[in-house]
């Protein structure tokens, strides 16, 4: 990797500013954290820093969207401090402001590796605009910067880009390093054959990914709701299935450009209602009027498994069907199982719904890497330069 990592920098006696991703889901009624995965993912970097005798570790993160006073109250970062303290087994000082004497004194007076969690960065209007003054101010609080919020590096914000623009060295934490090592390598220098499996509901959300991977992947397998737009482009009837009519011409161009490289489902599990009740059956070719496709069928599953034989790198983004309903989870489950049984391959799950599916279906520990960033992983797969990664110093 050509980026500086935390192994390359000396943090002894220094105040280390770390951009983490603590944008955790919470219960709407109680405000309690319902999934602490993002906090857990940051622990290796935080613990490594603490083991190397810093003066303080100051953590910055956003939490939700903040546009109103109601949003502020709902997305107060205070909820994270006790959860982090419990996981770290160490006191975490929460500073309820994003600038001013209270924050400055807390940082200045910290010692012996005190962990400080700063209030939600989005309390500052300048955060999402990458306000130069805000980035410079936050940078003035520390000696070293560590970027470890992969889920936010596709955004040029004051906390992801403004701080490292003004503070050096700026290094990658372990989480970011891992994302660069897996997704970055998969799209820039993959071990071949490279097979991409793309699902989910919409072609529109995967346009950049498909276009980039058509030039990189050896095979691209299409599933999920977006497959019906491709089937419509082939002239097949799709009944009441999900369709992006304005993307049919684009799908046609991908079919022509992709040729044998593009693999579409050959059969579909259909129903006459968006429900687990109804007239459920498997069809090949046209979907009858009044029916909708809700999962890929057994022949499509067999075809995917065949395409995966011998693959050395597999990128999967997007479920194969409505996996939240057990009746229509088989396609997604079978893809999970197939990837779980490829120990020799580099199997990468690209965040979002596919990451949720892998975890929900119990295969999280059987794949090489599950990305922590939905939007960031998609943009990385598009071959884009992500501003938060670009801001990290080169070795």
Q: Which of 352, 373, 374, 388 is catalytic?
A: 352
Q: Any catalytic annotation for residue 375?
A: yes
202 is an active site residue: yes
Instruction: Quote the tokens at residue 35.
Output: 């999934």
Using DSSP's 3-state secondary structure scheme, residue 369 falls into strand
Pairing of strands 219-222, 262-263: parallel
Catalytic residue among 64, 278, 375, 383: 375
- Active-site hit among 14, 38, 55, 219: 38
Which of 202, 305, 366, 384 is flagged as catalytic? 202
Residue 304 parent element (H or E): helix 298-308
Half-sphere exposure of 372 (CA within 13 A, CB side): 26
β-sheet with 346-349: strand ranges across: 262-263, 219-222, 194-198, 313-317, 346-349, 369-370
Q: Does 383 participate in catalysis according to the annotation?
A: no
Q: Is the N-terminal amide bond of 193 cis, ω within 30° of 0?
A: yes
User: HSE on the CB side for 385, CA within 13 Å?
Assistant: 5
Residue pair 316/335 in contact by the 8 Å Cβ criterion: yes
Mapped onto helix, strand or coil, the DSSP state of residue 163 is helix
138 with 160: CB under 8 angstroms?
Answer: no
Is 224 catalytic? The answer is no
- Positions marked active-site: 38, 202, 352, 375
């Amino acid at each position: 990797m050509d980026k500086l990592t935390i192994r390359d920098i000396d943090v002894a006696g220094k105040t280390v500013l770390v951009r983490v991703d603590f944008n955790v889901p919470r219960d709407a009624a109680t405000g309690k954290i319902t999934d602490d995965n993002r906090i857990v993912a940051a622990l290796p970097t935080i613990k490594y820093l603490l083991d190397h005798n810093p003066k303080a570790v100051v953590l910055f993160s956003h939490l939700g969207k903040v546009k109103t006073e109601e949003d502020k109250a709902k997305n107060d970062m205070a909820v994270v401090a006790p959860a982090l303290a419990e996981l770290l087994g160490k006191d975490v000082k929460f500073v309820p402001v994003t600038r001013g004497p209270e924050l400055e004194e807390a940082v200045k007076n910290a010692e012996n590796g005190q962990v400080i969690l700063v209030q939600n960065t989005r309390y500052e209007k300048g955060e999402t605009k990458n306000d130069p003054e805000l980035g410079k101010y936050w940078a003035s609080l520390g000696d070293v910067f560590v970027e470890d919020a992969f889920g936010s590096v596709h955004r040029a914000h004051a906390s992801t880009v403004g701080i490292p623009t003004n503070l050096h060295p700026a290094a990658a934490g372990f989480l970011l390093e891992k994302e660069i090592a897996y997704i970055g390598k998969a799209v820039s220098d993959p071990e071949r054959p490279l097979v991409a499996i793309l699902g989910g509901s919409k072609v529109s959300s995967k346009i950049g990914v498909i276009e980039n991977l058509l030039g990189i992947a050896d095979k691209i397998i299409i599933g999920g709701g977006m497959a019906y737009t491709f089937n419509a482009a082939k002239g097949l009837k799709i009944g009441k299935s999900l369709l992006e009519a304005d993307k049919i011409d684009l799908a046609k161009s991908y079919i022509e450009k992709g040729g044998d490289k593009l693999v579409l489902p050959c059969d579909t599990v259909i129903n006459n209602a968006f429900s687990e009740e109804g007239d459920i059956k498997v069809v090949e070719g046209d979907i009858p009027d009044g029916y909708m496709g809700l999962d890929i069928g057994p022949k499509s599953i067999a075809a995917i498994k065949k395409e995966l034989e011998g693959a050395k790198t597999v990128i999967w983004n997007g479920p194969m069907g409505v996996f939240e309903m057990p009746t229509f989870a088989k396609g997604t489950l079978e893809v999970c199982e197939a990837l779980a049984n490829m120990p020799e391959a580099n199997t990468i799950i690209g965040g979002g719904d596919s990451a949720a599916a892998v975890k929900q279906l119990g295969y999280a520990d059987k794949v090489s890497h599950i990305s922590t960033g939905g939007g960031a992983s998609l943009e990385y797969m598009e071959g884009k330069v992500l501003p938060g990664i670009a801001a990290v110093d080169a070795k």
